[in-house]
Structure 1
């Protein structure tokens, strides 16, 4: 999870929530009962003194990680403003999801066609997606705005489709660093870009604002389904509308 996605003022790149030690949440507020969930854990993050110096707001960040019987994964985040001085705060957010793929050049993303996006490689200029699907031939770093609740990542070589569902997160980040940026990243192998793709449910264009006592909830669902060829191509309708 990224609280304060990207670079925000004095915060570290991609914010701080992903780099903190979380505690087991022994007394989480109730969530709706989901009979498909077979195992889950509740975690909580509260700001340390150092966090408050960097970002001077009190909050509770609760996360439920849940697994279904078929291996489906869901992450439910809840962030509450616990400031006692009456101050609201605003933040951006993303689930930083990396997907393992066989070959990035054989992958396509369905569901973001005709969407407007901000291109981070072109000064966050706004464009409209023109292709029938997103394919990858060079570095990509885009924020798709008002993205649909379901997106499919179709891996032709593996004949496998990742299905990403989201709630409470209007945007979707699509990122692959490609060769030059991969070589410049110390924590990234020079050729690892060939076998990964980020598709991240996010709230980037319009930050989330919470008044004291208010809570925001966002959810990410991940599943992997087998795909079959149909007239030489995968049938995304079975994935996106099934």
Structure 2
């Protein structure tokens, strides 16, 4: 990405630079080498690299980085809906809006501040947003990069409306994998899921792990708070810890669907897997003045473990 002259924010040692569309992006760096980039367009994580500088998130080579199209890849925030329910738009409008850096963020708890670099973003509804979704809210997103490269996202949605509202939510997370046929997901076995490829019919997972052998679009219900995605070829495992989000969405478009998406390469389904911490089946309800918090932590560890070791 093209960089302007960098400006350092003394509060959190974050670098603010322009992407190639002139949109501000925030670069978080750990002293040991890991880094992350957060675009103010969509409040989207566009890059997450380990201490070796290796990219851990998938972004399509055909991704469109211009409004109004959402960026195909990284980690985007789906709010106030996940899925295509007609209105406001598929996966909500938060990932298609320009966010601002929050000048008055909530305090960082001591256990969250140690050795971490963070940035706080803020989204409030525009007049246009209120026409299609007539509820006033404040959405605060905190992105933290730990010294060991762990990435944490904390979302806070406050109802400043005069009446209750409901919303669904997901951290739409594109993981970069070596070969989709060599990947397995642990932590979802025996769970019920809704199959979006079969009119959201409900099934029960029968496998001892989830593997991807064809197009998949499932919502696993009431899932544990720790999920592991094992990439055998790279001998590494993504560990996802979540709070306040009961479901997990697993998606891979496979060959036929890939060819129908203009912002996705025909063969790129082999190098990506979406595993989303989400609240889909039961929308979240906020009364006036109430606030909801949802949290996702991502770690990458060597693959010599099973997910039971990471239970909370």
1:193 and 2:269 aligned: yes
- 1:7 Cα shift? 1.8
1:26 and 2:103 aligned: yes
- 1:238 Cα shift? 6.2
In structure 1, stretches of 5+ residues that fail to align are: 229-234
- 1:13 Cα shift? 1.0
How far apart in 2 are the matches of 1:160 and 1:27? 38
User: Match of 1:50?
Assistant: 128
Question: Contact between 1:8 and 1:15, CA under 8 Å: does it hold in 2?
Answer: no
- SS at 1:194's partner residue? helix
User: Match of 1:90?
Assistant: 166
- 1:240 Cα shift? 3.4
Counterparts of 1:10-159 in structure 2 under 5 Å? 10-33=87-110, 34-83=112-161, 86-159=162-235
- 1:32 Cα shift? 2.4
How far apart in 1 are the matches of 2:183 and 2:141? 30
How far apart in 2 are the matches of 1:60 and 1:35? 23
- 1:181 Cα shift? 0.3
- 1:241 Cα shift? 3.9
Residue deviations 1:78-119 (CA, integer Å, cap 9, x gap): 000111xx3111000000100000000000000100011000
How far apart in 1 are the matches of 2:154 and 2:82? 17
- 1:37 Cα shift? 4.6
1:171 and 2:247 aligned: yes
How far apart in 1 are the matches of 2:172 and 2:241? 14
- SS at 1:146's partner residue? coil
How far apart in 2 are the matches of 1:37 and 1:238? 27
User: Match of 1:232?
Assistant: none
How far apart in 2 are the matches of 1:6 and 1:237? 28
Cα RMSD (Å): 1.3
Residue deviations 1:9-31 (CA, integer Å, cap 9, x gap): 42111111011100010112224
User: Match of 2:46?
Assistant: none
In structure 2, stretches of 5+ residues that fail to align are: 1-76
How far apart in 2 are the matches of 1:43 and 1:53? 23
Question: Contact between 1:78 and 1:218, CA under 8 Å: does it hold in 2?
Answer: yes
Question: Contact between 1:172 and 1:201, CA under 8 Å: does it hold in 2?
Answer: yes
Size of the aligned set, in residue pairs, is 234
How far apart in 2 are the matches of 1:38 and 1:29? 16
1:211 and 2:287 aligned: yes
- 1:226 Cα shift? 1.3
Question: Contact between 1:111 and 1:240, CA under 8 Å: does it hold in 2?
Answer: no
When residues 213 and 125 of structure 1 are mapped into structure 2, their CA distance, relative to the original with a 3 A threshold, is same
TM-score after normalising by structure 2:
0.73
How far apart in 2 are the matches of 1:38 and 1:151? 23
- SS at 1:180's partner residue? helix
